[in-house]
Copies of this chain bind each other. A is one copy, B any other.
């Protein structure tokens, strides 16, 4: 599509997650003007999802002055492919197989659509508006329900040959380790260093020891990373050990990443980072312990300072300006 006018000063950012989909209208300076959300999970049918998204988004578009002001739509989605604009075999979404996301959304809105995976979108957001401003080599890692990543080298996002680069979460860190229900693989980073992973570690450690802990009052089905955090800040030793164990595995993955890509910084983002030093300290310590000498004390470990509810939308919208 050719540039229509100098009026194209706004972008739509959409962040599709396993549970909900957030979206908003963002200007070139990264100001989120309007935002809203719909459920992802409630739409077993993909076309119905796109229709609901269109309906809700057009309300915001009208508020912002009409569709003529928009340059395009950026979408971050699990297993979103930059080259093909599709979502492929995303284990956490209700739609199976290969979904023609960009095409369907483009048909509805008549705007250019750019797609990438959610962590890549977050990386672009950090580069344009966040902690990675001005950096040419950095790594973005999202620690939420799952673990996502985006790698930037030589000032460019690495999409790889087929558009699926950046799956650090599925790297095998503990061979023959914990089973990942979604992928069927054992010992991946995501099985340990996600909210789900912390919960699993809590259940395991409680079962394998007789140590006293506040967490013994929590029924197994109610265990969560939040519960572990609450116990840890009250000084609970076993809860702190859970974060130490998580940081050990995350630290190995970060050390490997540093030795491969030699980034200026690693930027962490997402729910688990709320645990602060409880998770950051052991992560940094084990990262350094696994680095060979030339890398020691060089790489900054930062936490994203973008407002969490906005960052995913900002990152997705940034795809619109970044797209070639």
- Residues of A at under 8 Å CB distance from B? 79, 88-89, 135-137, 149, 151, 153-154, 156, 158-168, 170-175, 183, 185, 252, 255-257, 259-264, 290, 292-295, 298
Contact = CB atoms under 8 A, between A and B. Distances in A.
Given A89-B294, A153-B153, 6 more contacts: A149-B260, A160-B263, A162-B294, A171-B256, A175-B252, A185-B292
A136 B160 CA distance: 9
Given A172-B256, A175-B174, A261 B160 contact: yes
B260 A260 contact: yes
A136 B159 CA distance: 11
Chief secondary structure at chain A's binding surface: loop
10 contacts: A137-B160, A137-B165, A153-B154, A153-B158, A158-B261, A162-B298, A166-B260, A167-B259, A172-B290, A173-B175
B172 A262 contact: no
A154 B151 contact: no
A234 B313 CA distance: 61
A55 to B, nearest CB: 31
A295 B79 CA distance: 11
B88 A170 contact: no
